[in-house]
Structure 1
Amino acid sequence: MTAQDQVSVVRRPAGELSAEDGTAALLTAYHLRTEAEKGRAVPDADGLPDRYRAEISDPRTAFADDTVLLALSGTTPVGCLMVTAPADGRSEIKRLWTDPAHRGRGIASDLLRAALAHAAENGTDTLRLSVWNWRTGAVALYERFGFTATESWDDRDQLVCMERAV
């Protein structure tokens, strides 16, 4: 295995993000895939809803209070996950994404382990997330990490809300 094949996870406060760190590209891919899976495919980021374009154009502001975990293969970003700042003992995982060309290598698991460690270090009692029910592989991954379905805090159809104690 070459150094380029090895993946490391780095933790960054959103305020340290830069236009060159690859976060925007990962978020773009995540949102484009999600919209396609919803049956609303768009050709590029310009066709995404405003709130998603805001994340892509300025992740530093969109996730200002959150922590960004980036998976790097060498210096190339291949995955991301956002962990919100704790509020009332809870943090939320958002935007877990692995570049499809790098899937099957445990990157999503590495990002989840890093998110759990970060949450534990920062006073989080409960870590929660939401996932589309058609993403059965993601649901199974979360279940392997001890997340269980819970009452929804989001009224969007087909969204599964999950949580686990930290």
Structure 2
Amino acid sequence: MNGRPLSVECPPPGSLHAVPGLAALLTGYHLCTEAEKGVPVADASGLPDRYRLETEAPDRAFADAVVLVARDGGAAVGCVVVTGPAGGAAEIKRLWTDPAARGRGVASALLGAAFERAGRMGARTVRLSVWRWRTGAVALYERLGFSAVPSWDDRADLVCMERPAQGHRPAASSIAAEG
């Protein structure tokens, strides 16, 4: 990072297509995921339709969700999507940190902002699913209070986790939440 505080922004609805760096972050997430699942593709054009839609038309793909973008200075270094709440639970999806920015608190900052946003949306719990082989992500989620729960998804190798929406409060100096 460049020494400036990391900021987490919440772009206004309808503006996601114009957020610098967001499409690249979402593309990176999906290309990595497809490769880890054993079906690598060369670029976004080879992604399954529903994932390609997220990279090409995020306003449409995430019309009913909140997208948070982490910035180090002006550079987008991470993103996360918060959906819901449905049945009292918000869901976290597409948490991704640019590989060059990993190990610097970007994911924790995004998750802290996501927990706050979920609480403001009226969620009592936050849930997510993560591939079993993403052991670093599973460990991070466990450190932040997530516990494994019975799966709501029938895909093999997917771990479903939940935690209370409130409770994680990152240092105020490390996050400037907007929106």
With structure 2 as the length reference, what TM-score do the two structures score? Answer: 0.87
What are the superposed Cα offsets for residues 117-160 of structure 1, whole Å, 9 maximum, x if unpaired?
Answer: 11111210111000000000000000011111111111000000
Q: Classify 1:32/1:152 alpha carbon distance in 2 versus 1 (closer, same or farther; 3 Å).
A: same
Residue matched to 1:10:
9
- Alignment gaps of 5+ in structure 1: none
**Does residue 152 of the first structure (1) align with residue 151 of the second (2)?**
yes
The range that moved more, 14-23 or 37-46, is 14-23
1:69 — aligned with what? 68
Q: Deviations over 1:55-90 (max 9, x none)?
A: 111001100011111000111111000000312211
1:21 aligns with 2:20: yes
Percent identity (aligned): 62
4+ long deviations beyond 6 Å: none
Q: CA RMSD in A?
A: 1.4
Structure 2 unaligned spans of 5+: 166-179
Partner of residue 173, structure 2: none
With the length of structure 1 as denominator, give the TM-score of the two structures. Answer: 0.94
Q: Which has the higher contact order (CA 8 A, sep 6+)?
A: 2
The answer to whether the 8 Å contact 1:14/1:61 transfers is no
> Does the CA-based 8 Å contact 1:14-1:63 persist in structure 2?
no
Q: Give the length in aligned residue pairs.
A: 165
By how many angstroms is 1:21 displaced? 2.5
Q: In the alignment, residue 109 of structure 1 is paired with which amino acid? A: S
CA displacement at 1:164 relative to structure 2: 1.0
Cα distance change, pair 123–49 in 1 and its aligned pair in 2 (3 A) = same
Paired AA for residue 46 in structure 1: S
Q: How many Å separate the matches in 2 of 1:94 and 1:15?
A: 19
